[in-house]
Every structure is written in C-alpha cells, then in structure tokens.
Chain A
Amino acid sequence: MLNNNFRRVHTHQATPVTRAPATDARFAAHQRMNRLRLRRGELFQALRQLDAATDQHAYRQIMQWVNEEYEARQGGTIMGLFAKCYLGPPYVDHRLDLLGSICEHFTPADPVPVPYGQARALAQSGAYAHIEIYSDGSMVPVLPDGTAVEL
C-alpha cells in the first residue's frame, strides 16, 4: 500500500532513498491536499463514542475504524489526535495515539509529550474539535464542521 512504502522509506535510514526528489515533492503536495479535505461526520461520532466506550472490545473496534478512515484518506501517517477533555477537573486535555491506540488524559500541571505539547494552547482555546498530529511533525487543527486549517 502506498502508505506502507512511504513509512519504509523514512524509517530505515540505511536504505537509500529510491524516489527521485521531484516525485517526493509532488507526493508531499498530494498528501497535503488530501489532509485538507473535509472530515466526515461519522469520524466525529466515532471519536465521541470512544470517550463513552468502557468495553475494551468496542474500544478496539472504534480505534480500528478510525485508523482505517485516516489511512483511506491518504494524507500521510497520522500519529495521533489531541483534544480538549470534557471529563471535567482535574483533566483538561487528552491525547489519542493512533499508532499505539493509547488514550491518555492530562491535568494542567502534567507535561505533555512532544509533539503533542505544541497543540495544547490550540486545544485549550476551545475553537477546534481536535488537532491532528502527523508523523512529519505538522499539526492540522480541525474545526467542528470538519474543515481543516492549514498552518
């Protein structure tokens, strides 16, 4: 699959890069365009269900669905989502790591691991549904209506 190729090229430094630079640039531009397409309403519903899911099996199913949704979009490898937490005090935000399927909540005093730390202020501002963090380090905040913001 296209994404697997991409991941392989970038994680194994010993293997020489087999793509020509021009193709890389076009590929990156193509990914960027895909990243900015509207997210479906079902994605937001699934993420809300995650918060409510207590059953491990249901949790894993929803995570798998979310992962597939992001892979189908072909916007590049997404590391995870960072969002404001509505569980109430003392938690203020949480991160959802899509690679490892981990959900972790943070209090205001907790240090947030890089690269999610830079998304903290954006999440706290309350204007975005969640912020996507990609493996190339870029952040894409997503508005509640599904539009993505290119920073």
Chain B
Amino acid sequence: MVEDAQYRNFSILQDEIRRVNHNVGAVADSVGQVSAQVGQVHADLTTTQTQLNELRDKFEQFVNRAERIAAIQRSETVVGNLEAELDRTYGHYKVVRRTSIGTLQAFDIGNVTDRTVQQVSEELMIQTPRYWLAPALVALAAWSRDDKDLCDRSIEAAFTRDPAKTGLFFALVLRRQGRTAASARWLRHYLTSLDPRALTREFAVILEAASQDAFGTQGRHMIATQLTEWNDLLRADPAVTAKQIDGWVTEITTHRGTLDEGLYPQLAKVSPQWPALKDLLEHASAHGNVIAKYTAVRDAQISLSSDMADRLDNILETLVTEYDAEELPVVRDVTYHKAVIEHEGDTARARQDADALNAALDETMDVATLQTQLALHPEMLGATVGTQQIAIGVGINDFTQAVQKYAAGYRQRYIDNLDLALDGQHSTFAATLGFPGWQTNSSTNQMYAEQSLAQVWSDTVAGYLNRVRFKESNYAIAAVILIVATIFGFLINVAAGVLLMLAAAAGCGIWLYVKKTAADKLYNEAVNMREQALHRSIDIYRAALAEYVDARIAYSEEDAKANQLAELVSTWPTTVGNHEEAGLAG
C-alpha cells in the first residue's frame, strides 16, 4: 500500500518535473530572443548616435547660413531705404548742380538769353535755402550781364555759406573762362586759408585737378609747393606717418582671402590648432590679392579729353556733387550695408571693410591722410584712377613699410609644428571600443607615431575585451545560487529540495549558456574589428599629415608673394605723365 502511494507521488513528481523542464525550456527560448533583440538595440543605438552627430553638424551649418541670409536681406532693405532717404532729403540739390554746369555750357555757346539765366538762377536761389551753390549761380548770371553789384553781393553770400567750396568753384570757373590770373588769385587765396591738419574733403578736387593738369603750369607749381610744405610740416610728427602706415596695413588686411575648409577636411577635424593655421593661411593670401589690385591700378589707361573746358566741367561736376557734409552720416551707413551684402552676411568682415572705407568719409582729414585715402579709396572721394596713381606714388614709403609690417604681423603667429589629436569619436570603431584619445605632433617621426597609435589601440581593445569577456566569476555566482536554492529546498522538504535543485540547476545552466554566447559574440566581433580600427585611425593620421604638408606648401607660396608686392610698390612709376593727352596741356 505504502509503495503504491509512494509510486503515485513519484509519478506526480515526474509529471511536475517534466512540466518544469518544459517551462524552463520556454523561458530559455524567450531569454534567447530577448538577448538577440538587445544585441540589435545596441547596434541601432550606435547607428543612431552617429546619425545624431551628423544631424547636429548639419543643423549648425544651417543655422549659420540662415543667420547670414537674414543679415543680407536686412542690409538690402536698409540700403534701399537709405538711398531713398538721401534722394528725398537732398534730391533738390541735383537741380541746382545740373543748372550750374548747364549755365556754363550755355554761356560757351551763347544761345540762352541773359533774362532766362537770371530767372532760373533766382528761382533756384529761392527754392534751395542754405545751399552755397545757389547764390554762386546767381553770381554767374549777374557776371554774364555785367551787373557788378549783384555779382559781388551774391559771391559774398555764397562765401558766407561755404567758403572753401565757393573759392574752389570760382577758381575753376575762372580758369574755364580763360581768366588765368584771376583764377590763380582765387586759388592762392583758397590754399592759404586752409589748415593742413583739418582739410575738408573737397580738397581732393585740387589733387584731381592737378593730376589732370587743369590749373595750368602756374597752378600746378603752386599746388606742388604748398603740398610739399604741408607734408614736411605734418610728417615731422611720427604719429602722422604711423597713421598712414596703419591705413595701408588695414588695406592689405581687408584683402585676405577665405580658406575653403573642404580642401583640408581631415586636418580641420584632427588638429586643435586648426583655427590658428587657417588664420595664418588667410593672412598670407592677402599679398596675391593686393598685387592683382594694384597692378591693375598701375596699368590702367588714362585718357583725358583734349578739350580743357570738358575736363574742367567734369571736375566742377565732381566738386558740386560729391562733398556735401550733411549727407555723410547716411553715406557711411550705406557703405556698411553694402559691405554686408558683398561679404554675404559675414557681419564681422563687413564691419572691418566698412570702417576702412569710412575713413575716407570723415568730415575733415589732415593732408597726409587725405592723400593716403585717395590712394586707397579714390571713389569715396570722387577721384579718378589717374589721381590714385599719383597719390600712391606720393605714399610709396608708407606702402612699403606697411607691407613689411603686415607680413611681420602674421609671421609672429607662424606655426612650425602642428598638434594632432585623435579623440574618442574620430571613428565608429573608436566610439564602440572606447578609444581613450591619442595626441601627437607633426614633428614626431611617422613610424614612432604609428607605433604609439598601435600601442594605444591594442591597450584599448584589450580593455574592451576584458570588459565584455565571459567571466569565470559567473560560474561561482551560478554555483552559489544553486547551493542556496538547494539548501532552501531541503529545509522545506526532501522532495522539494530535489525539485528546487534540479530547477535551479537547469535555470543557472540556461543563464550561463546565454551569457557565454553573447560575450563570445562581442569578443569575436572585437577581435575582427581590431585590425580595421587600427588601419582606420592610421589612415586618418596619414591623411592629416599629407594635408598639413599641402598647407605648408600653400603658405610658403603665398608668403613668398610678399617680396613680389614689395617689388611692385618700390617700382611704382612716380612720374605724372603716363596718361594720354591728345591736345593742349593748357
């Protein structure tokens, strides 16, 4: 009977054990599936991280571009508004300007009645208050009618409003009408009234006229003497010369190129000194651009019209159009916004450029600065290329010193040996295997550097393998669990103890098996990756070195142009007579 009962219990137990086995098997399957999915998730995570980094880089690029486009659009709108404002506020002066030149030409031909000229000039006098040219125009009309009293009063009125421009205007008009002696008197009067430390901008007209030989021999001689005297006086102060040299240095600096980072992709990523190297290359590139610009200036053909009256008309037109001081603040703003558009939204470079150009838009300048600005930005002062050529000839010493000073400036930041650093993210292998980072220098022997890199890689991989390897301690953990479960089971019941022992043994066995296969998989993967990872890093290192060699070659080529530039400047033709003049020299 007892055996029957025991046999029945035993068969129930067998059934239970079979069921447990079955369940454990199912659990093992599930665990295996989960492990596979975890492996998949891990791979996905690495891919996602790489993609996220790429996305972040692209986003930053997009933000920069969007900022620049916004700056360009803003500047375009502002330029339009400012120019409209200029037109609105000072547009009515244009009528007076056109009338003055037109009157002179009408006098030449003689086909306009005095009464008409008188009427027009008096109308304009009423319509443009405070403008110096209006009474000057009345004076011209009165002069043609022989009305001395009115002429004197009008000239006085014009003189009160703007003495410098009036004096210059009549000096030119008298010359145009052939009154040489009177013109010389006006010119002398004008020149002696000037303070060489604070010349107003229309003085550029004198230099323009001198370059076009508009004042004749006597006038040219007078101007040359006066300029020499002023220059000697001013340049006794070294600060004045230093200011001119700085002006030239700024000019060379604004001619820096922009380096295309696509030419040095690996170097840009790998070297922590890349921004400094890029800056050095950009500074060296200025020489080539300056050579191109000033060769064009030197070789520009000047052709002057043979008719003296024509030339003087051009100069008169410049005089009356260009130099109204009230317009200057608006013109300065327009200059800045145009620079932003030209530099495609790079507001920092635009500000530099605009400041350089606006140096020519100061209300007053000393004579040395005026001549320098005529050499640098003649269009800001209404001068032509001929005047620019002469002005550069006057400032040769400043230019020469500026070239050397500029070159010494960027050479002080010369980099002889570049640091290279491969960080933990330089390749996907590095990210996966936990590369700690490696630094070297371009002056290190390549073989030693590659050996050191291989050493770091083998240490990294060894560390990784150690981390992912299946550890013997797992066996100990499994054994402990088994023992604890067994003891616990036996404390309850022999049968339960046996049952629990078998279940625990099966469970631990499954767990150990799954862990071992996962660890082995990672281990084998890492062993396969090891060679690839090292080669990848060596490729990046070699590419960076090659790009550095290219960069050095590019630098020496550009740097050598400094000598060419110095040569161009020192051989600048300083004679005035290199323009064609068909006709009388007056």
Chain A residues with CB under 8 Å of chain B are 29, 32, 92, 108, 118, 121-122, 124-125, 127-128, 141, 143, 147, 149-151
Complex A-B: 24 CB contacts under 8 Å = A29-B238, A92-B416, A108-B417, A108-B443, A121-B411, A121-B414, A121-B415, A122-B408, A122-B412, A122-B414, A124-B414, A125-B411, A125-B414, A127-B407, A128-B411, A141-B408, A147-B404, A149-B401, A149-B405, A149-B407, A149-B408, A150-B404, A150-B405, A151-B408
Q: Is the CB of B413 within 8 A of A127?
A: no
**In the assembled complex, which residues on chain A have CB atoms less than 8 Å from the CB atom of B409?**
151
CB distance from B414 to the nearest CB of A (A): 4
A121 contacts across to B, CB distance below 8 A:
411-416
CA distance A141 to B409 in the complex (A): 11
Interface string of B497-522 (1 = CB under 8 A from A): 00000000000000000000000000
Judge whether A125 and B559 touch: CB under 8 Å.
Answer: yes
Q: How far is the CA of A92 from the CA of B407 in the complex (A)?
A: 21
In the assembly, what is the distance between CA of A151 and CA of B401, in Å?
9
Kindly state the interface size class of chain B when it binds its partner.
Answer: 10 to 19
Which 3 pairs show the lowest CB-CB distances between chains A and B? A125-B414, A125-B411, A149-B404
User: Binding site of B, secondary structure by majority: helix, strand, loop or mixed?
Assistant: helix
Beyond the given A32-B238, A122-B408, A127-B411, please list 16 additional residue pairs across the A-B interface where CB-CB is below 8 A: A108-B416, A108-B443, A121-B413, A121-B414, A121-B415, A125-B414, A127-B559, A127-B562, A147-B404, A149-B401, A149-B405, A149-B408, A150-B401, A150-B404, A150-B405, A151-B408
Instruction: List, in ascending order, chain A residues with CB within 8 A of B416's CB.
Output: 92, 108, 121, 124
Measured CB to CB, the closest approach of chain B to A9, in angstroms, equals: 22
Which chain B residues have a beta carbon within 8 Å of chain A's beta carbons? 238, 401, 404-405, 407-409, 411-417, 443, 559, 562
Of B404, B408, B409, B562, which is in contact with the most chain A CB atoms at under 10 Å from its CB? B408
Chain A residues near B415: list those with CB within 8 A. 121
Instruction: Report the Cα distance A150→B401, complex, angstroms.
Output: 7
Q: Is the interface of A mostly helix, strand, loop or mixed?
A: loop
Q: A25's closest neighbor in chain B, by CB?
A: B238
A32 CB contacts on chain B under 8 angstroms: 238
Q: Hey, which chain A residues are within 8 Å of B411, CB to CB?
A: 121-122, 125, 127-128
List residues of chain B with CB within 8 A of the CB of A122: 408, 411-412, 414
Contacts of A143 in B (CB 8 A): 404
Chain B, residue nearest A32 (CB)? B238
Q: How long is the Cα–Cα vector from A108 to B559 in the complex, in angstroms?
A: 23
Chain B residues contacting A125 (CB-CB under 8 Å) are: 411, 414, 559
Q: Which residue of the partner chain A has the closest CB to B415?
A: A121
B413 closest partner in A (C-beta): A121
CA distance A147 to B416 in the complex (A): 24
Q: Closest approach, in angstroms, between the C-beta of A103 and any C-beta of chain B? A: 21
Q: Which residues of A contact B407 (CB under 8 A)?
A: 127, 149
Q: Which residues of B contact A124 (CB under 8 A)?
A: 414, 416
Q: How far is the CA of A32 from the CA of B241 in the complex (A)?
A: 14
User: In whole angstroms, how far apart are the Cα atoms of A29 and B236 in the complex?
Assistant: 11
| Cα of A127 to Cα of B443 in the assembled complex, Å | 20
* Least distance between B263 CB and chain A CB atoms (Å): 22
Complex CA distance for A137 and B413, rounded to whole angstroms: 19
Measured CB to CB, the closest approach of chain B to A84, in angstroms, equals: 10
Which chain A residues border B408 with CB–CB below 8 Å?
Answer: 122, 141, 149, 151
Bound complex: CA of A141 vs CA of B411, how far in Å?
Answer: 11
